Amino acid sequence: MKKVVTRFAPSPTGTLHIGGLRTALFNYVYAKKYKGLFLIRIEDTDKARSTKEFEKNILESLKSIGLSPDKDPINQSLRGEIYKAAAQKIIDLGQAYYCDCSVERLDKMRAEQQLKGKKPQYDGKCRNLNLKKSDNTVLRLKTPLDGEVVVKDYVRGDIVFNNSELDDLIILRSDGTPTYHLCNVVDDYEQGVTTVIRGEDHISNTPRQIHIQNSLGYPKLEYAHLPLVLGTDKKRLSKRHAATSLVDYKAAGYLDSAILNTLARLGWSKGENEIFYLNDLIKQFEITEVQKAGAIFDITKLDYLNAQHMSNLDLNDFISHLKPFLENKGIKVENHPKAELLIKSMRSSSNTFEGVATNLTCYYQEISSYNQKAIEKFIGNSVEILNDLKVRLINLETWTEPSLDEVLSEYRSEKEHPVPFVNQPIRIALTGSTNSPSLGMTMFLFEKDEVIKRINSLIDFVQSGS
Ligand code: GLU
């Protein structure tokens, strides 16, 4: 059997976004599943919209998330001669013709067709005129006038197009530059691609591209057109819905493996299983199982999967992922006397590393402000409680989690206070909010002096009314 070769062919007109990354992932996984090659082609022929910065962002993003290509990427902008040679071959085979129809004529023709309720398409005026190349001729492909072309698609089955609906496509512009479809087809051939996996927005291009392949005598390709990625409102995913760029998700503290897991589920599923790492995907992914319906990207799914992937990390890995997020806040993880215990207790406090780092700040730095809602809800008559507990804590000889729990429960039962009445003010004093591990543990994570200092600060805050 022929070795599978897939490719991801981004146009560098923006940063790598969720939809593009999903396409890259499916291409990668499919190639690896069949022990084939995953290649990249930069489709940068649109000089006005393509930039080197976007190209760099795309390539670096793919590399950073583990989807590196098996060969160096190629750039269409550097391959003009190859496309021209292919066009010449089409001419030599009698499969193309020069056309000198003016823009005015074409506009008029289309307007008339539309008026008659017909699909606007070139009427073939120059097809048999045997015109010579000149400064105002384009080169058109002789598309078969009748019959049909069938796209065999792994996702959508056979898609049939009538050739009469496809007009004679321009393959070279009047300035001699090749058009997008020609470049795309020639490169798939030159790169040895066997399988084209791309977004369904390319379906209507496919029959045209097949005609170019046929005119050049290229072998047939396999196709899989992936469902569009939609936002939760079922509209095509865009910046309106969420960050669309991979870099933004990484910066927000999502794990690469969780991002890939979430993307893999955009249009593909396997029974009840939810958690997939790249290796699982390579084993279990089947392109024929990809659904046709649009796939909804929901950030809450990413949050959920990220939490699962975070919890699967061992402590050391967790800490190395967390470090940069703490460092961004000027915090060194080891600058806490009980760093390991602290991270263990707090590692599931958020769905993202950025969230965990934020939740950890109060254990490393003084509290800059108290959570307003927590203050309103729990601080009203708490000065007496704070003072009482302060005294008991000062007198406590052994500073351990159980002994601290004991102080709290003894006090609560003596005073017959409900748990939150006692615990929340202390929690707020220590962390600024009501989110923290069990209170005995939270207190134990601080040194005694620091706990007393923080309780005093909250008392001052309440008494000064600010
Ligand atoms: N360059 C096209 C795009 O960015 C992809 C073309 C293809 O995969 O054939 O949408």
Per-residue pLDDT tens digits for 110-147: 999 999 999 999 999 999 999 999 999 999 999 999 99
Length of the chain in terms of residues written: 466
Question: Closest Cα to atom 6, ligand 1: which residue?
Answer: 9
Task: Using the predicted structure, report yes or no on whether residue 419 has a pLDDT greater than 70.
Answer: yes
Determine the distance separating the centroid of ligand 1 and the alpha carbon of 55, expressed in angstroms. 14
H-type alpha helices, 68-159 = 80-92, 103-115
Indicate if the pLDDT at residue 4 is higher than 70. Answer: yes
Residue 453 CB partners (closer than 8 Å, separation 6+): none
Q: Is 165 in contact with 146 (CB distance < 8 Å)? A: no
CB of 76 within 6 A of ligand 1: the answer is no
Question: CB of 205 closer than 6 A to ligand 1?
Answer: no
Read off the pLDDT of residues 357-405 as tens digits, 9 standing for 90 and up: 999 999 999 999 999 999 999 998 899 999 999 999 999 999 999 999 9
Looking at residue 167, its pLDDT comes to 93
Residues marked as catalytic: 239
Judge if the beta carbon of residue 202 lies within 6 A of ligand 1.
yes
Average pLDDT, the chain: 96
Compute, in angstroms, the gap from residue 54 CA to the centroid of ligand 1. Answer: 15
Nearest atom in ligand 1 to the alpha carbon of residue 197 is 8
Distance 453 CA to ligand 1 centre (A): 61
What is the position in ligand 1's atom list of the atom closest to the CA of 8? 8
Strand arrangement of the beta sheet that strand 222-226 belongs to: 74-75, 37-42, 5-8, 195-199, 222-226, 148-153, 157-162
Q: Is the pLDDT of residue 30 over 90?
A: yes
Answer whether 10 contacts ligand 1 (Cβ < 6 A): yes
- What confidence category does residue 246 fall into, taking pLDDT thresholds of 50, 70 and 90? confident
Position 242 pLDDT exceeds 70: no
For ligand 1, is residue 153 a contact (CB within 6 Å)?
no
39 lines ligand 1 (CB under 6 A): no
